[in-house]
A and B are shown apart, each in its own frame.
Chain A
C-alpha cells in the first residue's frame, strides 16, 4: 500500500518526486509553502482535515531539507484539537519540528498537562510521548508530579505506565530534583516487581538513570535486578512476544546489567552467588549462530555481561575467562565483533591488571591497526596506547610510527600526541625518545603541536648527556632537502644551544652548521625566524676562537632584520647586534638555557582534556576518574601533582612580610591621627603547594599566559572560588588599637575571603564591611558593602586603598555619611597586572559621635 491516507499529501509527494532537478523541486516547494501560508493565515476556512494535511506537508518539506519558518504555531495549536486524529498530528509534528528550546512549546504546557491528567487514555499517551521526547526544564517542573502519579497508579494500564516511566526519565535528566529520592526508592523497587515487560523495560531505563546519579538510595533495587536477570535466564514464564529470536528480551537483560554496574559492590552473598551463576551461564553459553540478529542479540547480552563482570572485579578465573573470550573475538571475521572485542579489551585495561594476558594478543592487535575499517583502527590505536608499558613500548611506538605514514588526516593529530606521550612515558633511554620525536616531526610535522617539541627541548636541556646526541641528530635532519618547519625550529634551537659540543666533528664546524641552518631561512615563516636569530647569536657566541668571516655574515643578517616589520624579529635583531658589540659580556647573556623545573606533562593534560563529557556518568567513566595520571619523571622527581581542583583549596595568600612591616610603620605614623588601620598580624598558615609555583612560573612551555588556565579552572570548580593565586585579591584587614574592638576573628575572615568571593571583611560594634567579588580572568569587580549597624549616622567616612604594585585599583566614591542602619555599596574595579603575592590594604576611618575611629 503505497499511497497515504491523505490524497492531497500523496499528490504533493508525487509531484516532488517527479521533479527533474533541484530547481524544479524548489519551485514546487515554494509554491506549496505559499499556498499553505495563505491558508494558515485564513484560519476560518480551514477544516481540521485540511489543517492536518498542511501540517504534514510542512513536515515533509522540512525533511527535504528546506527551511520551514512558519507554521509551528499551527502544529502546536493542533495539540489542543478536540478530536484524536488532529491531536495526534499536532503532537507528532510538534515533536519533530520543535525542541525544548523553542518558546512556542511553552504555550502548549497547559494543554499537555490537561491531557496528562485527563481521563482519556489515548490522549494521555500522546502527551506523555511528546513530553518524553522533547520536554525541557519547564515541563519538568510543572509536570513531574503528575507523571509520577500515573506511573505508580494501579488503575493505569501498562500502555500508559510504560510511557510515563520514560517520560519521567526525560524529566529527571532535565532536572534531577523532580524525583524526590526519599519517597521514590521504594516505588522503584515496587516497579521492578512488575509483570508487564513493557513497563519493566521502561522502568529499568529509568532505574539506570536514577542509580547512576545516586546509588545509595536505591540499594533495595539491587536484589530485584538480580531476580529479573534470573527470571530471564531461566526463560520460564516469558511470553512469546517478548522473546527475540529465542532470546528472552535481550534489551531488558542489557539494561538490568547496566543498572547493576552502578552499585559498587554486592554485599549479600546469596545475591552475589545467583548473579555470578547467571553471568557464568551467559559467558559460557553464548555461541555464534548463523542468524545475524540472534547473534547480535545474544552478543549484546554477552558484552554487557562482560562489562558487569569487569565491574564486579570478580575472581581471577572469571576475569581470565573474559580476556580469553575477548582474545577470540578480536580475531574473528565478523567486523562488529572485532570492533567490540577491541573496545572491551581497552576497557578491561582500566579496571584490572590483566595487562600481561592482553599482551599475548599484541600481534593480533597490531594487525587490527591495519584493518580496512577506520572504526576498528581507532579502537586498535586506543588499545595499543593503553596497553603500552616499558616492555613493549619500543615495538608499539615503532608500529605506530609506521602507521603514521598511511593514517588519514583525521587521525594524525591524535596519533602524534599519543606517540609523543608513549615515547615520553616509557622510553627505555632518552636518546631513543629524542629519535622518536624527531622522526615524528619529520613524518607528521603538521600535526605535531608545539607542546611536543617544547617537551623534547626541555628534556635535552635538562640532560647533559643527551645534548651532543640530540645536536648530532638535529644536524642529520637538516641535511635532508625538504624538512618541515617544526623540524627547522627544533634543530635550530638545539644546534644553537649545543652545536659547540660537536665542533670537533667533521661537517660540524660553526660555519657549516650556520650555513646549513641559514639555507632553510627562506623556507620558513615569520614565527620561526626569531628562533633562527637566537640560534645565530648563540653560534656566534660559541665560536671560539672567533671567526671573523662568520661574524660578519651573522652581523649582516642582524642588520638586515633591524628594520623588519615584525616586532619580535626586529627586537631580537637589534638587541643581538648591540650585544655582539659588548664582547665578553656576550658569554653570560647568551649562556645555555637553564634547566626546566619538573611539571606535569602538558601533553598528558591535553590528552585528558580531549575526552568528551556525557550527561549520565557512565559507570566506566566513574571508575577511570579514580585513576590518577602519572606525571612524567624521567629526570627529577615531579614536585607537582597538578590536578586543577586541588590547587583551589590550597590557595592561601601569604602576606609578604615587607608589606606587613610597611603597614606597621604606617600605623606608627598614623596612630596619632586616630585612623583605624587594621593589620593582620600572623600570616595565614598552610603554605601553598607547588602548584602555585607552577602557575606563576613564566616558562616558555606554558605557552599562553597563566590567565589562559583560568577557563579550565572555572569549569572545574563551578563554584565561585577565587580563581588563581595571582588573581585572588585579598584586602588584608589590619588590626590594631584598643579603642574600637572588632568583632569576630579578622584573620579567619581574611582566610575565608581568599577562598570565597563574598563574605564579611571586618566588623566592629558600629560598622560591618562586606565584600562581594566577581572575576573574569584578570579583571575583577568587587563591591564593598559598608553597613552602619547603629542608630546614629557615621560621618566623615573615608576609605583609602593602597594597592600594591601588581594591581591597579579604582575605588568609586565613598559617601561621607552613612545613615543609620543603612548599607552603602562602593564598587571597586581591579585589574591584575602581574602575578604576585602582595596584598592590598584597605584604610578605613569614620567618625562616630564625637569619636574618630
Chain B
C-alpha cells in the first residue's frame, strides 16, 4: 500500500502531504526532511526508486515539483510510478496545463482530487474521465451553495435596510 504522498518543490518546500499510515507530527517533519535530502539530490539519469528505512519511495519530477509516494518493499514500483502520472494528468486536465503556482494557491483542490484517486493507500479510480466528472460535480455543489447563501444574505440585507 501507499503510506504517504509528498509533493515537494525543488527548494524543498512542501506543496502537499497526505498520510495513509499513522505518523505523528514530529515524525512527519522528520520524514519530510530525510526524504527531501535524499531525493532532491538525485541526478536526472538515475532510476525513480529509492530505498528508505525498509520501504521504497517512488518519485518523479515534473518541472519544479517532485511527486513522491512511499510504498512497501514488495509493491509494484512501476504501477505506482504510473499512479503518479495519472494524478498529474488529472491535475493537468483540471487546471488546464497545471503549474506549481496552481497547486500553491489551489492546494485544497489538489486534495479533493487526490481523495478521488487514492483511498487507504490504494488506487480507487483509474478513469480520468470519471474523476474529472466527480470533481466537477463537487465544484458545482459548492457553487450552488454559495449562490444560495449569497442570495439569502441579499434578502436579509435588503430586509434589514
Contact present for B22 and A101 (CB under 8 Å): yes
A628 CB within 8 Å of chain B: no
For the complex formed, measure the closest distance between the CB of B72 and the CB atoms of chain A, giving whole angstroms: 5
Asked if B49 and A84 sit within 8 Å, CB to CB, the answer is: no
Indicate whether A338 reaches chain B with its CB closer than 8 angstroms.
yes
Chain B positions 110-161 with a Cβ under 8 Å from a chain A Cβ? 111-112, 115, 119-120, 122-130, 134, 138, 141-142, 145-146, 149
Q: Mark A478-511, 1 if CB is under 8 A from B, else 0.
A: 0000000000000000000000000000000000
**Are B125's CB and A162's CB within 8 A?**
yes
Which of these binds chain B: A61-69, A385-393, A675-683? A61-69
Q: State which of A372-380, A400-408, A539-547 sits at the interface with chain B.
A: A372-380
Cross-chain contact of A293 among B82, B107, B120 (Cβ < 8 A): B82
**Any B CB within 8 A of the CB of A60:** yes
Please, what's the 1-or-0 string for B56-79, where 1 marks a CB less than 8 Å from any CB in chain A? Answer: 000000000000000011101111
Q: A85-B141, A166-B120 are in contact. Are A198 and B54 (CB under 8 A)?
A: no
A335 touches B122 (CB 8 A): no
A166 touches B122 (CB 8 A): yes
- Is A692 part of the binding interface, using a Cβ–Cβ cutoff of 8 Å? no
Given A4-B106, A170-B120, A293-B82: A67 touches B22 (CB 8 Å cut-off): no
- Is the beta-carbon distance between A297 and B47 smaller than 8 angstroms? no
Mark the stretch among A247-255, A444-452, A718-726, A775-783 that contacts chain B. Answer: A247-255
Contact B25 A336 (CB under 8 A): no
Pair B14/A338 contact, Cβ less than 8 Å? no
Total interface residues in chain B, CB < 8 Å: 69
Contact with B along A188-222 (1 / 0, CB 8 A): 00000000011001100100000000000000000
User: Judging by beta carbons under 8 Å apart, are A2 and B74 in contact?
Assistant: no
Closest to A338 in B: B47
Q: Which residues of A contact B16 (CB under 8 A)?
A: 63
* Contact of A244 with B126 in the complex, beta carbons under 8 Å: yes
Indicate if the CB atoms of A88 and B142 lie closer than 8 Å. Answer: yes
Interface string of A1-42 (1 = CB under 8 A from B): 111110001100100010000000000000000000000000
Whether the Cβ atoms of A198 and B125 lie closer than 8 Å is yes
Residues of A within 8 A of B125 (CB): 162, 198, 201
Q: Measured between C-beta atoms, what is the minimum distance from A292 to chain B in Å?
A: 9
Task: Check A133–B47 contact: CB distance below 8 A.
Answer: no
From A84, A88, A338, residue with most partner B Cβ within 10 Å: A88
Which one of B22, B86, B123 contacts A100 once the chains associate, using CB atoms below 8 Å? B22
Q: Contact: A163 with B74, CB < 8 Å?
A: no
Q: A-facing mask of B1-21, CB < 8 A → 1, else 0?
A: 100000000000111111111
Interface assignment of B83: CB less than 8 Å from any CB of chain A: yes
Contacts of B111 in A (CB 8 A): 92, 96
Question: Residue on B with the closest CB to A122?
Answer: B141
Q: Using a CB-CB cutoff of 8 Å, which residues 329-363 of chain A contact chain B?
A: 335-336, 338-340
Contact, CB under 8 Å: B20 / A339: no
Query: Which chain B residues in 7-50 approach chain A with CB under 8 Å?
Result: 13-25, 29, 32, 43, 45-50
Contact between A159 and B134 (Cβ–Cβ < 8 Å)?
yes
Pick the contact of B74: A9, A63, A65, A614 (CB < 8 A): A614
| In the assembled complex, A259 has its CB within 8 A of some CB on chain B | no
How far is it, in angstroms, between the C-alpha of A435 and the C-alpha of B141 when the chains are bound?
Answer: 75
Min CB gap B71→A, angstroms: 10
Q: What is the minimal beta-carbon distance from A362 to any residue of chain B, in angstroms?
A: 21
Quote the shortest CB–CB distance from B113 to chain A (angstroms): 11
Residue numbers in B under 8 Å from A85 (CB-CB): 141-142, 145-146
Q: How far is the CB of B73 from chain A (nearest CB, A)?
A: 7
Contact of B79 with A4 in the complex, beta carbons under 8 Å: no
CB pair B120–A373 under 8 Å, yes or no, is no
Report whether B96 and A83 are in contact in the complex, using a CB–CB cutoff of 8 Å: no
| B108 located at the interface, meaning its Cβ lies under 8 Å from any Cβ of chain A in the complex | yes
Interface string of A80-97 (1 = CB under 8 A from B): 000111001100100110
Q: Inside 8 A of A239's CB, which chain B residues have their CB?
A: 127
- From residue 551 to 582 of chain A, which have CB atoms closer than 8 A to chain B? none
Q: A847: which B residues are within 8 A, CB to CB? A: none
B51 CB–A CB distance under 8 Å? yes
Contact B82 A250 (CB under 8 A): yes
Asked if residues A375 and B51 are in contact (CB atoms below 8 Å), the reply is: yes
- Which residue of B45, B82, B141, B142 contacts A296 across the interface (Cβ within 8 Å)? B82
Which chain A residues border B93 with CB–CB below 8 Å? Answer: none
- Say yes or no: A198 contacts B130, CB within 8 Å: yes
Query: Closest approach, in angstroms, between the C-beta of A157 and any C-beta of chain B?
Result: 11
Interface string of A103-141 (1 = CB under 8 A from B): 000000000000000000010000011001110100000
A338 to B49, CA, bound (A): 11
Which of B14, B22, B49, B74 is close to A64, meaning CB atoms less than 8 Å apart? B14
Chain A residues lying within 8 Å of B46, measured Cβ to Cβ, are 335, 372-373, 375
With A300-B82, A612-B54 as known contacts, state yes or no: A99 contacts B47, CB within 8 Å: no
Are the CB atoms of B145 and A83 closer together than 8 Å? yes
- How many residues from A make CB contacts under 8 Å with B? 84
Rounded to whole Å, the gap between the CB of A257 and the closest CB of chain B is: 9
A357 to chain B, nearest CB (A): 23
Residue of B22, B78, B107 touching A297 (CB-CB under 8 A): B78
Whether B49 contacts A99 by the Cβ 8 Å rule is: no
Residue contact B78 to A303, C-beta cutoff 8 Å: yes
Q: Is the CB of B123 within 8 A of A618?
A: no
Q: Is the Cβ of B124 less than 8 Å from the Cβ of A202?
A: yes
Q: Which single member of B102, B126, B149 contacts A251 (CB below 8 Å)?
A: B126
Q: What chain B residues lie within 8 Å of A335 (beta carbons)?
A: 45-47
Q: Quick one: closest B residue to A299, CB to CB? A: B78
Q: Indicate whether A242 reaches chain B with its CB closer than 8 angstroms.
A: yes
**Inter-chain contact A163/B124, CB cutoff 8 Å:** yes
**Interface contact A378-B120, CB-CB below 8 Å:** no
8 Å CB interface, A142-184 against B: 159, 162-163, 166-167, 169-170, 173
CB distance A167 to B120 under 8 Å? yes
CB of B122 to closest CB in A, whole Å: 4
B112 CB contacts on chain A under 8 angstroms: 88, 92
Q: Which residues of A contact B13 (CB under 8 A)?
A: 64
Docked Cα-Cα span, A339 to B47, in Å, equals 7
A606 at the A/B interface (Cβ < 8 Å)? no
Q: Are B73 and A618 in contact (CB under 8 A)?
A: yes
In the complex, what distance in Å separates the CA atom of A618 from the CA atom of B56? 15
A645 to B125, CA, bound (A): 43
Give every chain B residue within 8 A of A173 (Cβ-Cβ).
Answer: 120
Q: Within 8 Å CB of A339, what residues of B?
A: 47, 49, 77
* A133 in contact with B78 (CB, 8 Å): no
Q: Which residues of A contact B85 (CB under 8 A)?
A: 293, 296
Tell yes or no: A596 within 8 A of B by CB. Answer: no
Nearest B residue to A48 by beta-carbon distance? B149
Determine the distance from Cα of A166 to Cα of B13 in the docked complex, in whole angstroms. 31
- Closest B residue, CB atoms, query A135: B120
Alpha-carbon gap, A373 to B138, bound state (A): 44
Contact indicator B126/A92 (Cβ below 8 Å):
no
Is B107 a contact of A60 with CB atoms below 8 Å? Answer: yes
Give complex CA distance A197, B124 in Å: 10
Chain A contacts to B: CB under 8 angstroms: 1-5, 9-10, 13, 17, 49, 56, 59-60, 63-65, 67, 83-85, 88-89, 92, 95-96, 99-101, 122, 128-129, 132-134, 136, 159, 162-163, 166-167, 169-170, 173, 197-198, 201-202, 205, 239, 241-242, 244, 249-252, 254, 258, 293, 296-297, 299-300, 303-304, 335-336, 338-340, 372-376, 378, 612, 614-616, 618-621
Closest 7 CB pairs of A and B: A612-B54, A300-B78, A618-B74, A335-B47, A170-B120, A166-B119, A132-B119
Q: Please, could you name 9 A-B residue pairs with CB atoms under 8 Å apart, sorted by A? A: A17-B104, A65-B32, A67-B25, A92-B108, A169-B120, A244-B126, A300-B79, A612-B53, A618-B72
Q: Known pairs A84-B141, A133-B18; list 9 more (Cβ under 8 Å).
A: A85-B145, A132-B120, A163-B124, A170-B119, A173-B120, A198-B124, A239-B127, A303-B78, A374-B50
